[in-house]
Structure 1
Amino acid sequence: MEDIQKLIEKHQYFGRAGTALIYATLVSIAVNFFWTPGNIYSSGVTGVAQLINTLTGRYGPFQLSTSLMLFVLNVPLFILAWFKIGKQFTVFTFISVALASIMMNLLHPIPLTHDPLICAIFGGAINGLGTGLALRYGISTGGLDIIGLTLRKKTGTKMGTLNMAFNFLIVVAAGFVFGWPYALYSAIGLVVNARVMDMVYTRQQLLQILIVTGRPKSVTDSIQNHLRRGITIVHDVEGAYKHDEKALLITVISRYEMYELQEAMEESDDKAFVSVTEIKQVMGHFYEPEL
């Protein structure tokens, strides 16, 4: 049994490393193919790294590259993640940031277009996809994601919302450096980035599940075997069509766990009535797996 568990963990490690490489490739494409040619700033620490690259190129004796500054600015945040989030999380975050820095140097800029609107939209979508995939599989992309995950544990605020709050200064910086039209284009890119990231990172999207079943014990056991979720059971529920005795089960899961719920229902009661509703917030204890 221990050998099987070690094999599973080994595959998970390889999977996360592969996800980190995918993220690094996507963010490099976003920066080199879209944001840099369009004079658009990214979100978070990547945007700050771009800003330093621009300012040192204009006013400094030498220019600091975006890839180098991306790694340097993340060093203190690695320390924060190590103590506040988790050691394994930090290791894979380090890997993803290091790979992103390397890929930015390997993938030389190809200006597909200089249209700032197109660059903002496609750069934001590609970066949001990469960031969302990384977070979904337990990897941070560094920077504001570490701060955002730390705060989200306390507030429950969505990652995209937190990023938007932090990125106001980056939009202002884009206005001063490239002109205010580019600040607005950067803002569009940040909105697209946040929306795509929230769509992909489904672990934070909460769903209320109502289940009407004649087999409450079987369904409850099956769900709790698949998911670590509490369930409230309301007995003596009557079906209006046949007037047979039912029970109402109430639970809350993340959208990320929807597949496991479907499996549990197929195993326990495939004829049960299941209602799924998206919810905004949960008050009280709600278990979130450690990263």
Structure 2
Amino acid sequence: MKNFLIVVAGSVIVGTAYNLFFIPHKILSSGLSGIAILLGLITPVNTGVLNFVLNLPLLVLSVFKLGKKFTLLTVSSVISLSLSLYLLPVVKISSEPILSSLFGGIFTGLGIGLIFRASGSSGGFDIIAMFLAKKKDFPLGAILSALNGVVVIASGFVFGWDAAFNTLVAIFACGKVIDAIHTRHIKLTLMIITSKGEEMKTRLLEKVYRGITMMDGKGAYSGDSRKILLMVITRYELTEVKNLVRETDPGAFVNILETAEVVGSFHRN
């Protein structure tokens, strides 16, 4: 229920950003939503209806490739976003297109980032990006930016290249905010030095789905024996691991390093 509420809230934020910042200035968003905005501006069909129809094929792909839970949250997001686009009024709150593209991108990235944090997506190219990120350690914002070149080109041909550049600013800002919020692709290496090695190992293996390497250590000054535990986790798991370490051994020493790359078996789901 918590994830569902976060997904709905994030979708409403995205829909609000579209209707307040993008659509009044003919700025397109990323992915299929951008195509829906484009078609909504040049046809009498509402953008919300177009967004829902365009997402249907990818929702079917999501069921087979990304799981039912993810798809359920994504369907919730697509419906919430489409209803927001359909029900919320289109209002030009800024007369400056560049400011609208920047702040629209920021709010859109905030909404999509929240949706990703809740293990869902807003549909469209997000499903493709999520599928690629699941297989490889690509940052989602970078994937989305790469997939959206067609949207920028379409914007330039239909509305002029000033609109295309504004769309590019919006997509760039959106991608940066997404990467700041959705940090699953960031890997961390933890070195835990503790006098309660077996107890620490047991607690971590019970609560965290990660492998652990144990080594014997000895304090250079005290001469006391210690256990050294090495493990690689995602940025999402850091808070949980730190709490487990603190509860098991408040005197444990933990060194946390950001990992550039992981080669070999690493659970990415």
Query: Same fold by TM-score, threshold 0.5 exceeded?
Result: yes
Matches within 5 A, 1:133-282: 133-235=114-216, 237-282=217-262
Structure-1 separation of matches of 2:52 and 2:126: 14
Structure-2 separation of matches of 1:274 and 1:287: 22
How many pairs are equivalent?
269
Q: 8 Å contact 2:155–2:167 — kept in the other structure?
A: yes
Aligned to 2:21: 34
Q: 8 Å contact 2:19–2:91 — kept in the other structure?
A: yes
User: CA shift at 1:127, angstroms?
Assistant: 1.1
User: CA shift at 1:248, angstroms?
Assistant: 2.1
> Where do 5+ consecutive residues of structure 2 fail to align?
none
Sequence identity, in percent? Answer: 35
Structure-2 separation of matches of 1:281 and 1:66: 41
Q: 8 Å contact 2:47–2:86 — kept in the other structure?
A: no
Q: What is the RMSD computed on CA atoms of the aligned residues?
A: 1.6
Aligned to 1:25: 12
Q: 8 Å contact 1:37–1:114 — kept in the other structure?
A: no
User: Which amino acid in 2 is paired with 1:41?
Assistant: L
Cα offsets for 1:6-34 (capped at 9, x unmatched): xxxxxxxx223312320221011110011
User: CA shift at 1:279, angstroms?
Assistant: 2.0
Structure-1 separation of matches of 2:168 and 2:261: 26
Closer/same/farther in 2, CA of residues 98 and 268 from structure 1, 3 Å limit: same
Aligned to 1:119: 100
Give 3-state SS (helix, strand or coil) of 1:208's partner.
strand
1:54 is the counterpart of 2:35: no
Q: 8 Å contact 1:71–1:97 — kept in the other structure?
A: yes
User: Which amino acid in 2 is paired with 1:260?
Assistant: E
Cα offsets for 1:203-238 (capped at 9, x unmatched): 332211111222221221122222111111122x23
Q: 8 Å contact 2:193–2:229 — kept in the other structure?
A: yes
1:88 is the counterpart of 2:69: yes
User: Which amino acid in 2 is paired with 1:54?
Assistant: L
Q: 8 Å contact 1:37–1:113 — kept in the other structure?
A: no
Q: 8 Å contact 2:11–2:112 — kept in the other structure?
A: no
Structure-1 separation of matches of 2:54 and 2:165: 25
Q: 8 Å contact 2:133–2:185 — kept in the other structure?
A: no
User: Which amino acid in 1 is paired with 2:100?
Assistant: C
My pick for the range that moved more, 205-214 or 240-249, is 240-249
User: Which amino acid in 1 is paired with 2:6?
Assistant: T
Cα offsets for 1:69-123 (capped at 9, x unmatched): 1111100001100111112221221121011111112210221102122111111
Runs of 4+ in 1 over 6 A off after TM superposition: none
User: CA shift at 1:177, angstroms?
Assistant: 2.3
Superposition TM-score, scaled by structure 1 size: 0.87
> Where do 5+ consecutive residues of structure 1 fail to align?
1-13, 57-62
Closer/same/farther in 2, CA of residues 171 and 15 from structure 1, 3 Å limit: same
Structure-1 separation of matches of 2:88 and 2:100: 17
Aligned to 1:284: 264
User: Which amino acid in 2 is paired with 1:51?
Assistant: L
Closer/same/farther in 2, CA of residues 241 and 116 from structure 1, 3 Å limit: farther
User: CA shift at 1:135, angstroms?
Assistant: 1.3
Closer/same/farther in 2, CA of residues 69 and 248 from structure 1, 3 Å limit: same
